[in-house]
Structure 1
Amino acid sequence: MGLAEFNALPDDAAEQLLLACCSSPRWAAALAAARPYVTVVSLLDAADAAADALDEVEIDAALAGHPRIGERATGTAAHEQAGVTGDDVRARLAEGNRTYEEKFGHIYLVCAAGRDGEELLAVLQSRLDNDVTTERQVMRNELAKINRLRLTQLVAS
């Protein structure tokens, strides 16, 4: 689907597509309501602004739509985590995920596209050194990267 087709969708259809990119209802509604977008860049900028405006409850809703890094994912997430291979790496990521969630209270979110399991594990380990406030901002930045990637794919043609 191209940008023109996305702009022409009924609001409910656009929101459903957007929820596949980010599972925050408020984010999806904001982007659907702001159509039409003149360029993909304007769509991406609006996505960033909408993500920045999300309160913590909506961020948690967005996180709920993401599988843990290293778990067997489906759909878009499976493609994004394609570099995570091997039972040993998956086991170490599972343990890292548990440690991360105990410390921060939410899943480890990272833009995994183009990265292998070892790199994602190293990023996880380095982020465990963050304080809660810093990590929450890092996680929000990663969410924005994932949203941009998925939106670009959505309107790529």
Structure 2
Amino acid sequence: MTLQEFNQLPLPARVQQLHDCCHCHWWAETLAQDAPFNSLQSLLEQAVNLFNQANESQILEAFKGHAKIGDIELLRSKFAGKATAEQGQVMQASEDTIKALWQLNQDYEAKNGFIFIVCATGKSAEEMLVILESRIANSRDCELKNGAQEQNKITQIRLTQLIEN
């Protein structure tokens, strides 16, 4: 859809489109109310600015909209379309890499209380495993911030895909 079409959507439809890009109700509702946007760039900037104001529960709500990196069964079912496109290279990884990603993600989630979030677009499963290994020892607070930054990257990609120039 074009930016003009997005701007002209009824508020509930704008909220739904935004929620599909970032699974935080507060963020989607607040950003939807900021329309109309005069450019894709202004939408992207406001999206980041707004998510940077999110509290912990809002950030965690956004995280719940993601499949776990390495969860092949989940990728094949609930998140099949978007997650497979975003994590497509995971499906091509070796069984050992997938198992390592899955196990380390389990360890990460047990430690932090939320799944490992990384903008997987353009990254191989091996690259994501290296990133996960480098972040596993971080504090929960550090990882909440890291995850929020990665969520912003993911959201920027999704918003750009939503709005055709």
Q: Calculate the TM-score normalised by the size of structure 2.
A: 0.91
Identity of aligned residues (%): 39
Could you give the per-residue CA deviations for residues 11-64 of structure 1, whole angstroms, max 9, x where no partner exists? 101111111111100010011100011111100111101111111111111111
Could you say which residue in structure 2 is the equivalent of 1:75? Answer: 81
Q: Match for 2:23: what amino acid?
A: S
Give the alignment of 1:99-118 within 5 angstroms.
99-118=107-126
Could you say which residue in structure 1 is the equivalent of 2:40? Answer: 40
Moved more, 76-85 or 118-127: 76-85
Query: Deviation of residue 121 (structure 1)?
Result: 0.5
Query: Deviation of residue 156 (structure 1)?
Result: 2.3
**What RMSD in Å do the two structures reach over aligned CA positions?**
1.1
Query: Deviation of residue 134 (structure 1)?
Result: 1.5
Instruction: Count matched residues.
Output: 157
Could you say which residue in structure 1 is the equivalent of 2:49? Answer: 49
Q: Do residues 148 (structure 1) and 160 (structure 2) align?
A: no
Could you say which residue in structure 2 is the equivalent of 1:9? Answer: 9
1:123 to 112, 131, 135: 131
| Cα distance in 2 for residues equivalent to 1:64 and 1:82 | 19
Could you say which residue in structure 2 is the equivalent of 1:62? Answer: 62
Query: Deviation of residue 78 (structure 1)?
Result: 1.1
Q: Match for 1:155: what amino acid?
A: I
Q: 5+ residue gaps in structure 1? A: none
Query: Deviation of residue 89 (structure 1)?
Result: 1.8
Q: Match for 1:67: what amino acid?
A: A
| Cα distance in 1 for residues equivalent to 2:151 and 2:31 | 15
Could you say which residue in structure 2 is the equivalent of 1:26? Answer: 26
| Cα distance in 2 for residues equivalent to 1:96 and 1:16 | 33
- SS, match of residue 89 in structure 2: coil
| Cα distance in 1 for residues equivalent to 2:164 and 2:112 | 35
Moved more, 66-75 or 139-148: 66-75
| Cα distance in 2 for residues equivalent to 1:55 and 1:137 | 11
Q: 5+ residue gaps in structure 2? A: none
| Cα distance in 1 for residues equivalent to 2:66 and 2:96 | 22
Q: Match for 1:81: what amino acid?
A: Q
| Cα distance in 2 for residues equivalent to 1:129 and 1:57 | 22
